[in-house]
Every structure is written in C-alpha cells, then in structure tokens.
Chain A
Amino acid sequence: MRRSTKTMRLLTPVSAALLLGIGLAASPVPKETSEKSVAAQITDLSAQKSLGSPSAPIKMEVFDDYECPNCGMFYEQTLKPMIDSYVAEGKVYLIHRDLPLPMHQYSRQAARWVNAAARIGKFEVVERALFDNQMAWSEYGSENPKGNIRPIVKGALTPAEFERVDRLMEGCESDSHDELKGCAVDAAIQHDIAVGQLVPVTETPTFIVIYRGQQYPPGVGAISWPLMKQFLDQLLSQR
C-alpha cells in the first residue's frame, strides 16, 4: 500500500504537467488585431464627450449611468481627482460613454440632457452638475421632486447656453428608455450603447484602459482613486 501511495504521489505532478502542456500547445493565438480594431472604433468617436488631450498616452473609456449610485461615487471619488490631475496634465484622455440602465428610471433622461449639453461643448459642466446633485434628482435621493433634471442643468449653464440646450431637448423630455423618434440626441446614446455591446459592457461604472494601442480588461465598480492612480502610474512606467 505504501509503494502504491508513493507511486501516486510521483505520478500526480507528472500527469498534471503533461495535461498543462497539452492545453498550452492546443491554445489559440492571441487576437491582438480584433482588440486593436475595437479600440480604434471607440477612440475615433464622441470627441465632444471626452476630456483631455487625444494624444495622451492613456485612453480611458468610462461607461456610466447618471443615476447609478456607484457611478456617482466613482465620479466623485475617482474621476474628479483624475480629471483635475492626470487628465489636466495630459496623461489620460477620458472618453465618456452613456449606458443608461433600464432599472434606473431617470438615467436615460439625464443622458439626453448631458448629450444635448455636449452638442454645445458644455459636457463637462453638466456631467459634473448631475453627479454632484445626484441625490437631488435621482430616485435614490432624499430630496423631491424626483426626475427633475432641468433646474440642475439650468443652474450649471448661462441663460444663453441653457436656451440652446433646451432647444436641442425638444422631443426628448421623457423618462422612456426607448429611442425617441423626435429626439435629436438619442442617436448619440444609442451609439454609446452599441459600443458597449461590442466590449461587452453590462454593468456601470465600467472603465476600459487603452495604452499603446493595447486594450486592457474592463474594470467594474467604484474603484478608489489611490488604486486607480497606482495602476495608471504602473502603466506609464512600462517600457
């Protein structure tokens, strides 16, 4: 019995190594081309909803839902310090993508307002205003009335700017998650959703980092800024 136990002990690692070898030999070649082509499609679009320099070494796409509490936390605790430092310093090019989840009643409406603001070059201020005041208009907030996004946007813009945004929002003021025929900005949201499906992105917030043409796996959840900074620094220090 002892001899057979010894034999088993010896055979186990040998057979495992053999199996691993067979698995590695039969494994497919890396698909760098398809990842690169997806990255190219993504970075070529949505310049109005992007922050920073397009020539920055790191490109980061963030799929957000304006009503999702985790997205609010991620924006306030991580994206804000990143925008103020790494994006401002030209290290990161931040691309916003809309992914309004049907479970959030007012997220599509919020995305419409932000896209309308983006059309006149006011994406950053309106995005910041909506996240800063998420509790004032979202269904999870303690303040009333829910879903009243208009005053938040109005407060973030000059009267002339708001008038332009308001004009773009004609036919858009609805809580519906369906693409509205008369809404000029819905196509932009649909485009972002389609880009998300390519990845695929199913949760928010999701961020995708592209460095030197290589797309890294998506990160999901409200990651803290110190860890995100550590990750970005390590990427930048790579040769």
Chain B
Amino acid sequence: MPASTQWTANRVLLLIGRLCLAIVFLAAAYGKLRPLNATPWTLHSLEVTPSSLNLSMTFFAMQLDSYRMLPAWAVSPFAHTLPWVELAVGLLLLFGFALRYVCIAATLLLTIFYGAVIHSYAMHLAINCGCFGPNEKLDAWTLVRDGLFFALGIAVTIGAFLMHKRNRAAVSSSPRAELSAR
C-alpha cells in the first residue's frame, strides 16, 4: 500500500474512533441530563427545565451513592459536575478541538469509570450502572462494554498523538519551512 493511502486510511480510522468516542460521551451526558420521566431518544426527552435537570442530577447522585466509593459529602457535587464534563468532552471530540488533550481527559475519565465498574462487580453490588441514564443494570456486559470504551479511548489518544507528530514532521519538511529555516 502506498504511503499516502496508508496515511489517509489512518486519518479516516482516527476520525471514526474520535466520533465513536464523542458519541459515547454525548450519550452519557444526555442519559444523565434528560428528564427522568421522558422516554429516551424522543423530542420530549429534550424538553429540559431547571427543575427536571435538578431532579435528574439528584437521581444520578443516588446512583453514584450506591457505588459506595465516594465520601458522602462528595457524591452530590461530583454528580452535578460529571454530566457537564462529559458533555464538554463529547463536544470537543466531535469538533476535534485540542484533540490530544481532550483524548487524554476522555481516557482518564474512561479509566475511572472502568475502575468503578470493576470494583462494584467484584464487590457483588447489585446496583444500577448509571452510565447512560437510569435503569441500567450493572452486570458482566457493562464490564465488557466499558472495557471496549477504555480500549477505544487509548487507541484514539495514541492515534491523535501519532497524527500530530506526523503533521509536524510534514510541516517541517515542506519547502516553506526549509525557506524559513534558511
């Protein structure tokens, strides 16, 4: 395969990976912020009001509390912050801004989530995951799914760094760069 074709294939792969990761984060934020009593993925579920938002985030705090990993004082602030962080990370991934740094943040978050899920599964806690909204049982499938997301996060992060390195090399070897070096 010629180098240019390989290069394009890598870029497309990175784009697909980045979009998949963006969808994961946006879906996670949507699941936590949507009104609790609205059917998911309907227009009705986008009718967010301040009181529905408060209720959804408190419900998420209860789900977080059932993990028994955070001190009582930290549960509510964490639950009220995380969905917004997920939304920001999802949007940044979607638009491809500051990709390397956003990828690091996304992978760190996925590492924390995966760790929490493994911990709860090992402790035989019969709880809801809360990952993509309410009423989602934490089971072996959650473990597999979050493992895949974690692997995707790492792959996209590595890809973003390699792409950046390649771009810099290409720019520095261009005729204009050579001229400016002289």
Contact = CB atoms under 8 A, between A and B. Distances in A.
Nearest to B43: A24
Contacts of B39: 27-31
Contacts of A1: 170
B94 A217 contact: no
Contact of A30 (B19, B44, B170): B44
Interface string B144-171: 0000000000000000000000000010
A16 B94 contact: yes
Nearest to B40: A27
Interface residues of A, number: 38
A201 to B, nearest CB: 11
Contacts of A226: 72
B37 interface: yes
A182 interface: no
B94 A12 contact: yes
Nearest to B79: A227
Interface string A138-179: 000000000000000000000000000000000000000000
Interface string B5-26: 0000001000100010011000
A223 interface: yes
B111 interface: no
Contact of B55 (A27, A202, A231): A231
B32 to A, nearest CB: 12
A215 B38 CA distance: 10
A9 interface: yes
A45 B127 CA distance: 27
Interface in A180-239: 202-204, 214-224, 226-228, 230-231, 234-235, 237-239
Contact of A227 (B61, B96, B126): B61
- Chain B, interface size: which category? 35 or more
A124 B97 CA distance: 59
B65 A224 contact: yes
Contact of A214 (B37, B68, B134): B37
Contacts of A231: 55, 58-59, 62
Given A9-B96, A30-B39, A234 B62 contact: no
Contact of A234 (B11, B54, B66): B54
B125 interface: yes
Contact of A12 (B15, B44, B76): B15
A218 B65 contact: no
A236 B160 CA distance: 48
A203 B128 CA distance: 9
B142 to A, nearest CB: 13
Contact of A219 (B62, B133, B137): B62
A224 B75 CA distance: 10
A19 B63 CA distance: 30
A229 B125 CA distance: 23
Contacts of B23: 16
A2 to B, nearest CB: 9
Nearest to B4: A1
B135 interface: yes
A173 B34 CA distance: 48
A234 B51 contact: yes
Given A27-B43, A218-B128, A234-B51, 7 more contacts: A27-B39, A30-B39, A217-B135, A219-B134, A221-B65, A221-B127, A227-B65
27 contacts: A9-B96, A12-B94, A13-B94, A16-B23, A16-B94, A23-B41, A28-B39, A28-B42, A216-B36, A216-B59, A217-B36, A217-B59, A217-B135, A219-B59, A219-B134, A220-B126, A221-B65, A221-B66, A221-B126, A224-B72, A227-B61, A227-B62, A227-B65, A234-B54, A234-B55, A237-B51, A238-B51
Interface of A: 1, 8-9, 12-13, 16, 23-24, 27-31, 70, 202-204, 214-224, 226-228, 230-231, 234-235, 237-239
